[in-house]
Amino acid sequence: MTPTALETFRSRVSDDPDLLGRLWKISDRGEFVAACLAVAAEWGLALAEDDLREAMQSSYRAWVERNLP
Amino acid sequence: VNRSDPLAGWVPAFLNRKTPGVGVEWVYAGERRFVEPFFHQTLTGLVRCPFNLLLRRVTPLDTLLERAERLPGLVPAGFVFHVSRCGSTLAAQALAALPDSVVLSEPEPLDTLFGLLNEVPAMADELRLALVRGLVAALGQPRRPSDRRLFIKLDAWHIAWAGLLLRAYPRTPWIFLYREPVEILVSHRRQPGSQLIPGVLHSSFPVPPADDPSVYDPLEYGARVFSVVLAAAESTLHAFPGGRPVNYRELPEALCTTVADHFRLDLTPAEQALMEEACRRDAKEPVRFFVADAAAKQRDADSCLRVLAERWLDVPYRRLEALREAFPARP
């Protein structure tokens, strides 16, 4: 996965309110990742499960560490 | 709700100081309301949802300025300043009971912004005001068709920033909540707040210097911090006429009467009933009922604590009481 693929994915989801609403409602992490991978595959974006999980972990770390110097 | 806005439904979760130029980290909230006692509680739930873990958006700080010009959001209908442990969370919960309200209870992004502004003293006043308006606009966008009234409950030390906020929104009424000093200190002795920790507050807040002996006694340090809060409230009440002091012992009734009038809420009987119901609950643990605890706190106060209250807090407290008593009573 290149950062561009994830960024493209993010941008296209943001531009599609219906898809955004559908993905936002998924509370189960595994189900969410599977749904994202399916959409990415439809769009021809090279995203892998591990990459998505790593991105989510890194995002959560940024939140937890947001006030650390 | 503006569906043509690319950030419709998104709210600033935090300002990321590790991003060059400071990044605004947005999470998607859709129509979810901020109904938990504190902003960060709602936000933590939002941040943890898989969508926001993967698809959180980051924009430059300037986005706040550009967007607020197009979408100014709800103008705040009331600000709640306070000295801590004096019913401010109850006030926020009562306001959140109004179905058309958006209540931001101690929103962390605003605190971060105040800290950033403090670090850039040369920043032009117009830009400071615009950043405050930009962030409040982003936090206070109507995300549901019924969102009409925005209320912001600040952190206790934000009274030092009241001037900036009240100049940004000169028509917004505000209250300052406080209570009998001994009761504040007893509450902090039972469960110490961040105000008792030297170095936690922004350096703009005139707390005792690091070499002051009080930094070795958390409660005395806290008492000194609260004395600054009370004194700042008094001077802000003199400088900005839209304010009204409210004593904890007037609660909860005053929320549906004095405060509702001051905020021009014009409550329907149904809205009043919803606020009254919220007032029956413990604000920080709404599954429990509210129990008045002033008498118990007075009983818990030992002579050391009373000395601290008398040394640092009694004078500014009495001055606020004099101001409050000068306000006309409700007809």
> How far apart are the CA of A30 and the nearest CA of chain B, in angstroms?
9
Q: Which residues contact B45 (CB under 8 A, 6 or more apart)?
A: B36
> How far apart are the two ends of chain A, measured CA to CA in Å?
30
Choice between B308 and B201, residue whose per-residue pLDDT is larger: B308
pTM of the predicted protein model = 0.94
Identify from B15, B17, B51 which residue to disrupt to test chain A contact, counting A C-beta atoms within 10 A and taking the largest count. Answer: B51
Strands (E), A1-69: none
> How far apart are the CA of A19 and the nearest CA of chain B, in angstroms?
11
Partner residue facing A13 (CB), from B49, B53, B55: B55
Q: Residue B330: is its pLDDT beyond 50?
A: yes
> How far apart are the CA of A25 and the nearest CA of chain B, in angstroms?
8
Q: Residue B88: is its pLDDT beyond 50?
A: yes
> How far apart are the CA of B217 and the nearest CA of chain A, in angstroms?
25
B16 touches A at CB < 8 Å: yes
Which of chain B's residues have a Cβ under 8 Å away from the Cβ of A21? 30
Kindly indicate the confidence band of residue B266, based on its pLDDT and cuts at 50, 70 and 90.
very high
Kindly indicate the confidence band of residue B1, based on its pLDDT and cuts at 50, 70 and 90.
very low
Q: Residue B107: is its pLDDT beyond 50?
A: yes
Residue A27 CA, chain-centre distance (Å), reads 13
Scanning every residue of chain B, which has its alpha carbon at the shortest distance from the alpha carbon of A18? B3
Q: How far is CA B91 from CA B70, B153, B187, B294, in A?
A: 31, 8, 18, 17
Chain-chain contact of B56 with A59 (C-beta, under 8 angstroms): yes
The full DSSP string for B81-127 is: EE-SSSSHHHHHHHHHTSTTEEEEES-HHHHHHHHHHHH-TTS-HHH
Q: Residue B181: is its pLDDT beyond 60?
A: yes
Q: Residue B178: is its pLDDT beyond 70?
A: yes
A positions 5-34 inside 8 Å of B (CB): 10, 13-15, 17, 20-21, 23-24, 26-29, 32-33
Average pLDDT value for residue range B4-28: 91
Q: How many CB pairs under 8 A join A and B?
A: 51
Q: Which of B34, B251, B31, B293 is nearest to B153 (CA)?
A: B34
**Scanning the structure block, which residue is given the tokens 């009922």?**
B289
Given a contact cutoff of 8 angstroms between Cβ atoms, the answer to whether B322 and B315 are in contact is no
ipTM: 0.94
Average pLDDT value for residue range A21-30: 95
Chain-chain contact of A14 with B57 (C-beta, under 8 angstroms): yes
CA geometry: angle B130, B131, B132, nearest 5 deg: 90
Residue B83 CA, chain-centre distance (Å), reads 10
Q: Residue B93: is its pLDDT beyond 90?
A: yes
A64 touches B at CB < 8 Å: no
Model pLDDT for residues B215-225, shown as the tens digit of each residue? 778 899 999 99
Instruction: Please give the pLDDT value at position B3.
Output: 60
Partner residue facing A14 (CB), from B6, B30, B52: B6
Average pLDDT value for residue range B165-191: 96
Q: Residue A1: is its pLDDT beyond 60?
A: no
Instruction: Please give the pLDDT value at position B207.
Output: 77
Average pLDDT value for residue range B186-204: 84
Q: Residue B148: is its pLDDT beyond 50?
A: yes
Choice between B308 and B284, residue whose per-residue pLDDT is larger: B308
Instruction: Please give the pLDDT value at position B276.
Output: 95
Model pLDDT for residues B45-85, shown as the tens digit of each residue? 999 999 999 999 999 999 999 999 999 999 999 999 999 99
Average pLDDT value for residue range B242-258: 95
Kindly indicate the confidence band of residue B18, based on its pLDDT and cuts at 50, 70 and 90.
confident
Kindly indicate the confidence band of residue A3, based on its pLDDT and cuts at 50, 70 and 90.
low
Scanning every residue of chain A, which has its alpha carbon at the shortest distance from the alpha carbon of B49? A27
Q: Which helix (H) or strand (E) holds B143?
A: none
